[in-house]
């Protein structure tokens, strides 16, 4: 059972996260969904893949939480949710990168996550399933009980909205890309002057 949970964890967590837009609540919803699924395993009829069945349970749990959600969250509940919670982090592309590049990657990832969170739920969930989790159009359609053409349409709109949202934040700093100043500029200048025998 542990292996089955581990195989589905990331995909199901990301689906819950795409609906709830909250790390802690998504993790809690995932745990609750697993508990419900495995205590009612006899309800699985084999009409769909086990992963799809689990996905639907996670979706239902996450949507149920949205409906019950209150406008404000009590601090005690928030603090209690943090205790012992282990957030599933995206691994860095290369752990040996310099600290500056690692920090830049974190900032870009945070910006991307905020932009995805800003999408309407119908587009956000399809985008996460298709682009982040790599589900096929048919698998995504089955998971969310929608037509394949609807998946294509929502994905197209989600990409367009995501691009617009990213451009709001990235556009103003586009001119700062590929900086060549400070020590790098000075080092090159000194190197050229030295090669030309200018001291």
Residue 89 in this model has a pLDDT that exceeds 50:
no
What does the pLDDT read at residue 85?
A: 42
Q: Tell me which residue of 73, 54, 62, 66 sits closest to 17, measured CA to CA.
A: 62
Q: What is the DSSP letter of 92?
A: P
CA torsion through residues 93, 95, 102, 118, sign: positive
Asked if pLDDT for residue 8 goes beyond 90, the answer is no
CATH tag, 91-177 = 1.10.10.10
Q: Are 85 and 26 in contact (CB under 8 A)?
A: no
pLDDT at 48 over 90: no
CB of 56 within 8 A of CB of 141?
no
State the pLDDT confidence band at 82, using cuts at 50, 70 and 90: very low
What are the tens digits of pLDDT across the range 117-145?
999 999 999 999 998 888 999 999 999 99
Measured from the Cβ of residue 92, the count of other Cβ atoms closer than 10 Å reads 13
Is residue 84 within 8 Å of 24, Cβ to Cβ? no
Q: How much is the mean pLDDT over the chain?
A: 80
HEC string of the chain equals: CHHHHHHHHHHHHHHHHHHHCCHHHHHHHHHHHHHHHHHCHHHCCCCCCHHHHHHHHHHHHHHHHHHHCCCCCCHHHHHHHHCCCCCCCCCCCCCCCCHHHHHHHHHHHHHHHHHHHCCCHHHHHHHHHHHHCCCCHHHHHHHHCCCHHHHHHHHHHHHHHHHHHHHHHHHHHHHHCCCCCHHHHHHHHHHHHHHCCCC
pLDDT in tens, 138-161: 999 999 999 999 999 999 999 999
Kindly report the CA angle at 104 between 103 and 107, in degrees rounded to 5?
A: 90
Q: Which fold has domain 1-89?
A: Rna Polymerase Sigma Factor; Chain: A (1.10.1740)
9 phi and psi angles, rounded to 5 deg: -50, -55
Contact 20, 78 (CB under 8 A): no
Read off the pLDDT of residues 23-44 as tens digits, 9 standing for 90 and up. 889 999 999 999 888 888 877 8
pLDDT for the residue numbered 184: 64
Separation of alpha carbons 144 and 24, rounded Å: 23
pLDDT band at 179 (very low <50, low <70, confident <90, very high): low
Domain map (residue ranges) of the chain:
1-89, 91-177
Q: For residues 101-123, give the mean pLDDT.
A: 88
């Amino acid at each position: 059972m542990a292996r089955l949970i581990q195989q589905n964890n990331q995909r199901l967590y990301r689906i819950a996260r795409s609906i709830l837009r909250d790390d802690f609540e998504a993790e809690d919803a995932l745990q609750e969904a697993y508990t419900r699924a495995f205590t009612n395993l006899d309800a699985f009829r084999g009409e769909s893949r086990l992963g799809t069945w689990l996905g639907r349970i996670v979706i239902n749990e996450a949507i149920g939480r949205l409906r019950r959600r209150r406008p404000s969250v009590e601090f005690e509940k928030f603090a209690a949710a943090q205790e012992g919670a282990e957030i599933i982090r995206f691994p860095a592309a290369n752990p040996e990168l310099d600290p500056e590049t690692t920090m830049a990657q974190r900032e870009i990832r945070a910006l991307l996550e905020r932009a995805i969170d800003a999408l309407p739920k119908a587009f956000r969930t399809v985008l996460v399933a298709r682009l982040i989790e790599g589900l096929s159009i048919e698998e995504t359609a089955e998971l969310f009980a929608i037509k394949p053409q609807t998946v294509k349409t929502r994905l197209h709109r989600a990409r367009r909205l995501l691009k617009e949202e990213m451009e709001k934040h990235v556009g103003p700093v586009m001119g700062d890309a590929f900086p060549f100043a400070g020590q790098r500029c000075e080092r090159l200048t000194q190197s050229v002057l030295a090669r030309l025998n200018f001291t």
